[in-house]
């Protein structure tokens, strides 16, 4: 049996408060020779509480323990008996504390004897039984509706949880591919610089250290501020410039107002790396990458299109990684805008607490 949290607090309150207010109203209008009885009203309110909470217990308890037609029959009989006994006991006790006698009389003045015909037509037991046949089905139907609604919500949450776990597993797998790939590319570049330009190699190593410090600090977090990510992308751009020189340029035009908004870590790095991977790099016709603020709390990574000669080896891991993170955060993924001259990847900036 699934453990489902049923949110029925407000119905429980209403099912007690409304009948209690009716009782208080009625007793406030009835004046016998002994006056209005506070104790009698209190007994009736306690009876109402026991009817409501007891019926709830019967409905939910038998749902857990029984199933099928047997549950319907046993629940109905138990509920009717419970309410009939409580109503009978409550009215008898209320009459006793008011008049000092056991009175089986109901509102119309009729009384019950052991004659079965009078039992069904009037008197306290008949009144209690007929009232129970009206009250319990209403409570039962309402609690069943509440339970099935809670079950539906539980199923949706469980589905969402499993989907999130699946996305997390996919994301971890993608991270395991992206980070070694990133490290391998930069170590190759460092190896070449050590031989060709030791001075630049030292600068490259310093920037690489900053980049990996950021990676270690933010790789396990879901979100980081845009300002931190921009600081990281500047270090990453220095690595690219060391490798490619004047063949690559970056222009950052970000409105300071949005720098406190959030972004999945490494998003900008993956998009910039994507631009570098898919375009040729040459000094006389450089790759220009722009980071610009877009409408609706969005950011675009835009570059001119410089098609490479020959096929480009691409696994699509970078965009998969970004989209997986945004799906996990229930946010729209990367929007692609392109033509023959420009390519832009547009991402959503997330407000804290969303």
Per-residue pLDDT tens digits for 94-119: 877 777 666 555 444 444 333 434 44
Q: Is position 187 within any domain?
A: no
The b/e string for 228-246 (b: 16+ C-beta within 10 A; e otherwise) is bbbebbebbbbbbbbbbee
Q: Is position 188 within any domain?
A: no
Q: Is position 242 within any domain?
A: yes
Please state, in angstroms and rounded to a whole number, the distance separating the CA atoms of residues 243 and 192.
9
The verdict on 117 and 215 lying in the same domain is: no
Percentage of the residues of the chain whose pLDDT score is greater than 90? 31
pLDDT of residue 219: 63
CATH number of 263's domain:
3.30.565
Beta carbons of 345 and 335 less than 8 angstroms apart: yes
Indicate the SS3 state at residue 217.
helix
Arithmetic mean of pLDDT, 204-232: 81
The answer, yes or no, to whether residue 208 has pLDDT greater than 70, is yes
- Domain final residue, candidates 132, 157, 182: 157
The verdict on 344 and 210 lying in the same domain is: yes
The verdict on 337 and 236 lying in the same domain is: yes
The verdict on 209 and 150 lying in the same domain is: no
Among 29-43, 131-145, 321-335, whose mean pLDDT is lowest? 29-43
Beta carbons of 272 and 301 less than 8 angstroms apart: yes
Q: Is position 48 within any domain?
A: yes
Among 33-37, 89-93, 151-155, whose mean pLDDT is lowest? 33-37
Q: What does 330-343 look like in DSSP terms, one character per residue?
A: T---PEEEE-SSEE
pLDDT of residue 167: 64
Please state, in angstroms and rounded to a whole number, the distance separating the CA atoms of residues 270 and 325.
12
Q: Is position 1 within any domain?
A: no
Q: What is the number of domains present in the chain? A: 2
The verdict on 32 and 110 lying in the same domain is: yes
The verdict on 111 and 36 lying in the same domain is: yes
The verdict on 19 and 153 lying in the same domain is: yes
**CA dist 340 → 71, 110, 190, 191, 235 (Å):** 69, 94, 34, 36, 30
pLDDT of residue 220: 65
The verdict on 320 and 226 lying in the same domain is: yes
Arithmetic mean of pLDDT, 248-253: 94
User: For the segment 22-60, what is each residue's pLDDT rounded down to a tens digit?
Assistant: 887 777 655 444 444 677 888 889 999 999 999 999 999
The verdict on 84 and 218 lying in the same domain is: no
The answer, yes or no, to whether residue 65 has pLDDT greater than 80, is yes
- Domain final residue, candidates 157, 187, 221: 157
pLDDT of residue 293: 93
Confidence of residue 274 (pLDDT cuts 50, 70, 90): confident
pLDDT of residue 325: 81
Q: Is position 148 within any domain?
A: yes
- Domain final residue, candidates 126, 157, 188: 157
The verdict on 153 and 201 lying in the same domain is: no
Please state, in angstroms and rounded to a whole number, the distance separating the CA atoms of residues 256 and 226.
10
The verdict on 144 and 207 lying in the same domain is: no
The answer, yes or no, to whether residue 1 has pLDDT greater than 50, is no
The verdict on 126 and 229 lying in the same domain is: no
Please state, in angstroms and rounded to a whole number, the distance separating the CA atoms of residues 123 and 57.
28
Task: Look over the chain and give the mean of its residue pLDDT values, rounded to a whole number.
Answer: 81
Please state, in angstroms and rounded to a whole number, the distance separating the CA atoms of residues 187 and 193.
10
Please state, in angstroms and rounded to a whole number, the distance separating the CA atoms of residues 271 and 248.
14
Q: Is position 310 within any domain?
A: yes
- Is the pTM of the predicted complex or chain greater than 0.75? no
Q: Is position 163 within any domain?
A: no
User: For the segment 68-82, what is each residue's pLDDT rounded down to a tens digit?
Assistant: 899 999 999 999 999
pLDDT of residue 137: 95
Residues of the domain holding 216: 197-348
């Amino acid at each position: 049996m699934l453990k489902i949290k049923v949110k029925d607090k407000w119905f429980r309150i209403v099912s007690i408060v409304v009948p209690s207010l009716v009782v208080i109203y009625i007793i406030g209008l009835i004046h016998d020779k002994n006056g209005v009885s506070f104790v009698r009203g209190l007994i009736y309110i306690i009876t109402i509480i026991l009817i409501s909470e007891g019926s709830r217990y019967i409905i939910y308890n038998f749902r857990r323990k029984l199933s099928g037609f047997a549950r319907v029959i046993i629940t109905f009989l138990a509920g009717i008996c419970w309410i009939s006994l409580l109503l009978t006991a409550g009215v008898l006790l209320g009459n006793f504390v008011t008049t000092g006698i056991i009175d089986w009389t109901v509102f119309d003045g009729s009384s019950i004897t052991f004659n079965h015909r009078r039992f069904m037509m009037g008197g306290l037991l008949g009144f209690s039984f007929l009232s129970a046949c009206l009250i319990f089905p209403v409570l039962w139907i309402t609690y069943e509706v509440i339970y099935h609604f809670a079950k539906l919500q539980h199923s949706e949450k469980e589905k969402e949880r499993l989907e999130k776990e699946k996305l997390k597993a996919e994301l971890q797998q993608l991270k395991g591919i992206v980070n070694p790939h990133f490290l391998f590319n930069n170590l190759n570049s460092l190896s070449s610089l050590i031989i060709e330009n030791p001075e630049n190699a030292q600068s490259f190593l310093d920037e690489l250290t900053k980049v990996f410090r950021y990676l270690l600090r933010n790789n396990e977090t879901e979100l980081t501020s845009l300002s931190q990510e921009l600081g990281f992308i500047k270090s990453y751009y220095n690595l690219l410039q060391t490798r490619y020189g004047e063949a690559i340029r970056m222009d950052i035009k970000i409105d300071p107002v949005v720098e406190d908004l959030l972004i999945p870590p490494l998003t900008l790095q993956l998009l910039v790396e994507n631009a570098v991977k898919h375009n040729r790099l040459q000094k006389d016709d450089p790759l220009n990458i722009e980071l610009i603020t877009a409408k609706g709390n969005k950011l675009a990574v835009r570059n001119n299109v410089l098609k490479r000669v020959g096929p480009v080896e691409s696994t699509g891991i970078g965009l998969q990684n970004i989209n997986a993170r945004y799906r996990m955060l229930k946010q729209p993924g990367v929007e692609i805008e392109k033509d023959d001259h420009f390519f832009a990847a547009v991402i959503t900036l997330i407000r804290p607490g969303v």
